């Protein structure tokens, strides 16, 4: 299933449009009428690796249902060598249905991940710049930890986490062999 490859948390998997769609707008729609409504939608693009499936622009549409979508974020260019998350705020008004329009230039498009984040129910107003930077730092640290886990295995993340948090390396308790 294509949805599983977009939400499995791995940027090695992806959704790719077909050759027949290369001259048409591609889109991914999120219907959150039964859940918390998204305040931010992110798509992971890797144009540096996906040379034959580059995303040239993204656009965000939102509304109460699929037939009543309005532009929330205008068509935004994505650099041809960009690799990372394209973050698109839905805006102050909540919308249960959001659609990311994906554009490419004369080729299929590839999206590696999609994430939708809902605003907290008790949050009022807009988060400050400092809070946004703290959130980005936390996300970057978690990404670093996840990558370290993939590369080095189970033992290293605790060591890296302690060092990243400013702590000392965790002590490793060794069991003494039992003598009989």
pLDDT at 176: 53
- Residue 128 CA to residue 133 CA, distance in Å, equals 9
The most confident of the ranges 9-18, 59-68, 110-119, 151-160 is: 59-68
Tokens of 94: 């909540």
For 25, residues 6+ apart whose C-beta sits below 8 A from its C-beta are 101, 102, 103
Nearest of 38, 97, 105 to residue 68 by alpha carbon: 97
Q: How remote is the C-alpha of 9 from its chain's centroid? A: 8
Higher pLDDT, 23 or 57: 57
Please compute the mean of the pLDDT values over residues 52-74 and round it to a whole number. 93
* Confidence band, pLDDT 50/70/90 cuts, at residue 166: low
- Tell me if 48 sits within 8 A of 105, measured CB to CB: no
Nearest of 69, 47, 72 to residue 57 by alpha carbon: 47
Nearest of 125, 128, 157 to residue 141 by alpha carbon: 157
pLDDT at 155: 52
**41 to 30, 32, 113, 123, 178: CA distances (angstroms):** 9, 12, 11, 18, 55
**pLDDT, tens digit, 9 for 90 and up, residues 103-145:** 998 889 999 999 988 865 444 344 445 555 566 677 777 777 8
Angle in degrees, 0-180, between the axes of helices 129-152 and 155-164, rounded to the nearest 10: 150
């Amino acid at each position: 299933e294509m949805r599983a490859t977009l939400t499995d948390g791995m940027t090695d998997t992806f959704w790719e449009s077909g050759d027949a769609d290369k001259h048409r707008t591609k889109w991914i729609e999120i219907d959150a009428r039964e859940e918390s409504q998204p305040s931010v939608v992110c798509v992971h693009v890797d144009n540096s690796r996906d040379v034959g499936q580059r995303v040239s622009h993204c656009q965000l549409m939102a509304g109460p249902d699929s037939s009543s979508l309005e532009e929330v974020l205008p068509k935004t260019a994505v650099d041809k060598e960009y690799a990372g998350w394209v973050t698109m705020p839905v805006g102050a008004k909540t919308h249960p249905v959001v659609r990311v329009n994906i554009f490419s230039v004369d080729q299929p498009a590839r999206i590696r991940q999609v994430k939708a984040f809902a605003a907290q129910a008790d949050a009022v107003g807009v988060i400050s710049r400092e809070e946004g930077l703290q959130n980005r730092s936390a996300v970057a640290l978690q990404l670093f930890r996840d990558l370290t886990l993939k590369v080095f295995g189970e033992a290293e993340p605790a060591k890296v986490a302690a060092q990243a948090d400013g702590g000392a390396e965790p002590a490793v308790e060794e069991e003494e062999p039992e003598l009989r």
